[in-house]
Amino acid sequence: MEGQPNQQQIVSVDAKAFKAKFQSKGEVYRFLTHDCGVYLSTYETMTVWHMADLAANRRRRIKETDVKVINIPHFEGLKIETMLEYAALQPDVMQYLPAVAREREKLPRSYLGNLIYTVVGEPFRRWVEGRVDERHDQRRQHDDQIHMDAEIAEAYKNSTAVAGKCPDARSAIINLFYI
């Protein structure tokens, strides 16, 4: 990770010269990711304003080689909004995210999770695990009965289907009935 923004490292570059090299958002995105090694979200979710803030050292950068990857399951307690609420409580994290709220809300969950995990580390991983444990506890509170439409239940009784060899798929399908 880069250090705190440092005003002594700021260098002026002629705007016309910069525009002569990079005329589009795509060219700036490629420059920052490829030439500078900056960890960025997808091209579609990065704005030119956030990239300009990163280049001008108004926002902090993470080098691609420093990124710590975390798997964030798609649970209700782990929505992008919830992760952004967590990030808002971490002043360091906010320095890496776009300054504008609506830009932050469009970031992919994998990018947001990796960014927070890289900056915060183990406390964030434990926070994610806590949300996962809460979800599992909620699931355990359900009874073992699946509630379904009477017509579907009749078709189930008459079905001669036998489960396949993919237990994860069966669990995923059964979990759909608990939603």
Let me know whether 102 and 41 are in one domain.
Answer: yes
Let me know whether 120 and 159 are in one domain.
Answer: no
Domain count, the chain: 2
Q: What is the pLDDT along the chain (179 residues), one digit of tens a residue?
A: 555 544 457 777 767 667 777 778 999 999 999 999 999 999 999 999 999 899 888 999 999 999 999 999 888 789 999 999 999 999 899 999 999 999 999 999 999 999 999 999 999 999 999 988 887 777 666 656 677 889 988 888 888 877 665 555 555 555 555 55
pLDDT digits (tens, 9 = 90+) for 96-130: 999 999 999 999 999 999 999 999 999 999 999 99
Let me know whether 116 and 61 are in one domain.
Answer: yes
Helix (H, G, I), strand (E, B) or coil at 63: strand
Question: CA dist 69 to 72, 142, 164, Å?
Answer: 10, 32, 33
Residue 11 token pair? 């260098």
Let me know whether 133 and 149 are in one domain.
Answer: no
Let me know whether 82 and 159 are in one domain.
Answer: no
Q: With a threshold of 0.95, does the pTM exceed it?
A: no
Q: Is residue 1 part of a domain?
A: no
pLDDT for residue 6: 43
Helices (H) and strands (E) in the chain, counts: 10, 0
Let me know whether 81 and 111 are in one domain.
Answer: yes
Report which residue type is found at 120: V
The residue range of the domain holding 71 is 7-137
pLDDT for residue 100: 94
Let me know whether 54 and 96 are in one domain.
Answer: yes
Let me know whether 17 and 73 are in one domain.
Answer: yes
Q: Is residue 111 part of a domain?
A: yes
Residue 171 token pair? 């669990």
Q: Is residue 60 part of a domain?
A: yes
Let me know whether 169 and 97 are in one domain.
Answer: no
Q: Is residue 24 part of a domain?
A: yes
Let me know whether 161 and 85 are in one domain.
Answer: no
Q: Are 115 and 39 in contact (CB under 8 A)?
A: yes
